[in-house]
Structures are given as structure tokens and as C-alpha cells.
A and B are shown apart, each in its own frame.
Chain A
């Protein structure tokens, strides 16, 4: 496994957001901390485990919570942001609201 840098992970997150029509969280410090967390998880586990989820011990067990996680499309649409709040719905981002924790719906996917 080749380790990733924070800049490489930021590129990944930026590309995911662009492809899905989402916005990265405009709180730059918060987003930076999440990208650092994603980088840490890549370098620990070899995949982008969601920074706000704990590993269950294997890639197979964590499959639904590898970024972008399985519930993220529904969460962004219905809650305005994904579970860790890295990705925001454009309207939510424009509203100036601050994301808060939402329920983990991975079991529904």
C-alpha cells in the first residue's frame, strides 16, 4: 500500500464532490480535519474509512462506510450533508447552517 498525503486526499474529496454535485463543507478547518482523518484511515487500513466511523476490523466489514459511504447520497439529499459532514448539498451549503451529527443509517443500505 502506498501512503497518501493530505493533499492527495483533498484531491480525492474534491473530485468526489464535483462528480456527485455536492459541495465540500465550507468550514475549512472542519474539512481539513476530516481530510486529515481520511488520510490517517487510508494509511492505517488501506482504504478511506469514514473518519467518523470506527473500523469493524476488515475492508469487507467496513464496505458500506468507505468514503463516499453508502448512505451519503440519501443523507445529503434528506439531511443536507453526509454522516461526517464532509459533503454538503449545495442548498444546505448556501444556507449557512452548521451541520450536526445525524443517525448512522448504514444498516439500511
Chain B
């Protein structure tokens, strides 16, 4: 289901991890999260969930919640298809992405 979403790929000089960010176009912390990845030259893909039709979005959020056993809030980042981050707390992102 998640593969059906229309992601935007952002190239970077580093592709240490496969990073997918589920974000809202209106959200300040989502903007900070994407800026954080951009500043470090990390390649990633993202989708603004507020631009996704309601039915598709509801299915996608359900799929994320079931897969990661966590409530979905934004930004919601999936790292290498295994780990996830909810919200933007910079030290947590640094640690999870091995940037410390």
C-alpha cells in the first residue's frame, strides 16, 4: 500500500540509509526535518500526506501504524524499512542516522 504513494525523491551526496519521510506541507517540524536531511546531503524521499486523498491516506497511516506498532504523527520517518522516528527531535535523528 505504501508503495502506491507518490513520493518525491531528493538526491544527496550521501545514501548511507534508505530514508522515507511522511510529512505535512503545513508543518514546521516537518520542514525542519527535511532541512536537516538537506543540510547533511542525505538522499531521501518524502510525501506530503496532506496532499494525498483521504481514503488513500487513511490506509497508508493504518499500514504505518501496523508495521511499526506506533501512533502516526508527523514527520514520520522510516529508516532502511526497519526503524522509524516520530516527530523531529534533532538528537534522536542524529543518533538513528549515525550522525553523532
Interface residues of A (CB under 8 A from B): 30, 33-34, 36-38, 40-41, 51-55, 57, 84-86, 100-104
Within 8 A of A (CB), among B43-100: 49-50, 54, 57-58, 61, 71, 73-74, 86-90
One of B25, B31, B61, B87 near A100 (C-beta < 8 A):
B87
Q: Are B50 and A102 in contact (CB under 8 A)?
A: no
CB within 8 Å for A37 and B26 given contacts A54-B57, A54-B74, A104-B73? yes
CB within 8 Å for A55 and B50 given contacts A100-B87, A104-B71, A104-B73? yes
CB within 8 Å for A51 and B26 given contacts A33-B31, A57-B54? yes
Chain A residue, CB-CB nearest to B29: A101
- Cα-based distance from A40 to B54 in the complex (angstroms): 17
Q: Are B87 and A54 in contact (CB under 8 A)?
A: no
Q: Are A84 and B57 in contact (CB under 8 A)?
A: no
- Cα-based distance from A102 to B9 in the complex (angstroms): 27
- Cα-based distance from A85 to B52 in the complex (angstroms): 25
Residues of A within 8 A of B54 (CB): 55, 57
Chain A residue, CB-CB nearest to B61: A54
B22 → chain A closest CB, angstroms: 10
One of B24, B32, B86, B89 near A51 (C-beta < 8 A):
B24
- Cα-based distance from A85 to B32 in the complex (angstroms): 12
Residues of A within 8 A of B74 (CB): 52-54
| 16 residue pairs from A and B, CB less than 8 Å apart | A30-B28, A33-B28, A40-B26, A41-B26, A52-B24, A52-B30, A53-B24, A54-B50, A55-B50, A57-B54, A57-B58, A85-B29, A100-B87, A101-B88, A103-B73, A104-B71
